[in-house]
């Protein structure tokens, strides 16, 4: 098939190499106003059999809707759009077209194994979940005002994987945050360290922690505590953790999200090209965004927020 790729930033360049090497891709058409790629030639990406969108967030909604009007299957990196209203607009304009949204943790072997174990009853009844997403260094100052804030930009991955692994919905959020680093976070109305308590629709409690300044390295984990056992995702040799008792076989920590989830990104694109229906849908992306909206509102107003308050 012929595949069009829009955007050659960090993740776009990674996708270009993945697509160019994929056995189902005969031709890669690459479109970026600034960058070029050695993996594909220029052209109209929307004339391809499928389109992959890896452009800035502000362009996602327009590009997805254009693909839908033309009847071209589209894979778009998260988010669908920067706001709930625009996400709903894209959902309404989909018109039956195939749209997949990039939440790569669904294709990470650790999360897949945890979901299977939980659903098979190996953990017993789930009582608690703990989630961590911590970056070793902050994004550029120019990015923060456009990011939507740490809960929409960063923790939306946690909200999606929480729903996907547990099969439950978040009903309420109590979030907080702090500014411990550069002034540009506070100036943009954002925080660089975050925490939240989420309640699921069956009463299960989930706690969340995050940071833009995790000196140990890139840290993404999920703990699922059940009545039979606790399952942990991300507690491997490259987890940036040191204990007073010591852990054997510790290796260099993951430097960033691309290195940590390289295999998941490749598996996700493979699933899209093969027509796999298990990818994140617009509806799923919207549910995760509702949780992020509730968390952001809770942070700003200093109170628990029901997710129903932000639904439209």
Can you list the positions of beta strands (E) in the chain?
A: 2-6, 27-31, 50-53, 74-77, 99-102, 126-134, 170-178, 193-200, 205-211, 219-226, 230-233, 305-306
**Two tokens at 229?**
């056992």
Is the Cα dihedral 179, 185, 186, 190 positive or negative?
negative
CA distance 114 to 131: 13
| Neighbouring C-beta atoms of residue 45, cutoff 10 Å | 26
**CA-based nearest residue to 79, from 188, 155, 170:** 155
For the chain, the farthest-separated pair of C-alpha atoms sits apart, in whole angstroms, at: 59
For residue 55, what pLDDT is reported?
96
- Give pLDDT < 70 ranges for the chain: 247-249
User: Can you state the angle between helices 84-93 and 282-301, rounded to 10 degrees?
Assistant: 170
Answer yes or no: are the C-beta atoms of 289 and 95 closer than 8 Å. no
CA distance 253 to 3: 34
- Match 């939980």 to its residue by tokens: 118
Pairing of strands 99-102, 74-77: parallel
**How many Å separate Cα 71 from the centre of its chain?**
25
How high does pLDDT run on average in the chain? 96
β partners of residue 131: 208, 222
Q: Report pLDDT digits (tens) over 111-129.
A: 999 999 999 999 999 999 9
For residue 211, what pLDDT is reported?
98
**CA-based nearest residue to 214, from 152, 162, 260:** 260
Q: Please state the pTM of the whole predicted model.
A: 0.96
H-state helical runs in 156-261? 156-166, 183-187, 257-260
Number of helices (H), then strands (E), belonging to the chain: the values are 11, 12
**Two tokens at 292?**
């992020």
CA distance 79 to 58: 9
**Two tokens at 90?**
């894209």
């Amino acid at each position: 098939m012929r595949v069009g790729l829009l955007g050659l930033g960090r993740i776009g360049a990674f996708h270009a190499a993945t697509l160019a090497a994929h056995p189902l891709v005969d031709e890669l058409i690459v479109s970026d106003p600034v960058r070029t790629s050695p993996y594909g030639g220029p052209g109209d990406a929307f004339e391809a059999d499928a389109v992959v969108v890896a452009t800035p967030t502000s362009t996602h909604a327009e590009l997805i809707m254009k693909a839908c009007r033309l009847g071209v299957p589209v894979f778009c990196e998260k988010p669908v759009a920067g706001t709930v209203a625009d996400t709903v607009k894209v959902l309404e304009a989909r018109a039956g077209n195939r749209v997949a949204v990039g939440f790569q943790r669904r294709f990470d072997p650790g999360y897949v194994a945890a979901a299977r174990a939980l659903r098979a009853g190996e953990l017993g009844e789930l009582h608690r979940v703990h989630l961590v997403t911590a970056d070793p260094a902050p994004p550029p100052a120019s990015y923060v005002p456009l990011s939507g804030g740490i809960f929409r930009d960063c923790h939306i991955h946690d909200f999606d994987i929480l729903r996907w692994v547990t099969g439950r919905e978040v009903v309420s959020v109590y979030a907080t945050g702090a500014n411990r680093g550069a002034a540009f976070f506070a100036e943009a109305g954002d925080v660089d360290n975050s925490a939240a308590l989420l309640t699921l629709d069956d009463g299960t409690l989930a706690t969340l922690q995050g940071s833009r300044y995790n000196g140990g390295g890139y840290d993404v984990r999920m703990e699922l505590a059940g009545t039979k056992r606790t399952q942990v995702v991300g507690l491997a040799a490259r987890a940036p953790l040191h204990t007073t008792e010591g852990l054997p076989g510790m290796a260099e920590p993951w430097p960033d999200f691309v290195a940590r989830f390289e295999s998941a990104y490749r598996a996700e694109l493979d699933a899209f090209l093969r027509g796999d229906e298990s990818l994140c849908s617009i509806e799923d992306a919207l549910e995760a965004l509702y949780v992020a909206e509730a968390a952001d509102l809770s942070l700003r107003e200093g109170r628990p927020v029901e997710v129903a308050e932000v639904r439209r």
